[in-house]
Amino acid sequence: HMLEQRARGEEPDFEGFMDRYGDFFPENPQTLDELLEVMAERMAQAQQMLNSMTPEQRQQLMDLTNQLLEDMDLQ
């Protein structure tokens, strides 16, 4: 949503986002660009972890993730 706002030339409510979700970002990004950098770094780390796993380990992780999402009614 914030990226769509930015693309339309609007000012995204970054502070509101951080008020709601800031606990998920202990790096404490101060701008939307910093937040995007943090998220990109996390995605790269996750990909490196997946690449280091065997196919069986990846499947086990996916199964566990799906079970957690179902348990939380997020799927």
Structure confidence at residue 71 (pLDDT): 82
Calculate the alpha carbon distances from 25 to 1, 20, 30, 36, 53 in Å.
18, 11, 11, 11, 26
Q: pLDDT band at residue 74, thresholds of 50, 70 and 90? A: low
Confidence (pLDDT) at 73: 73
71, amino acid identity: D
User: What's the number of domains the chain is made of?
Assistant: 1
Q: What is the pTM of this model?
A: 0.76
pLDDT above 60: residue 20: yes
Q: What is the pLDDT of residues 26-70, one digit of tens each?
A: 999 999 999 999 999 999 999 999 999 999 999 999 999 999 988
Q: Give the model's pLDDT for residue 69.
A: 87
Which residue range is the domain that position 23 belongs to?
A: 2-71
The span from the CA of 38 to the CA of 30, in Å, is: 11
- Half-sphere exposure (Cβ direction) of 71: Cα atoms closer than 13 Å: 6
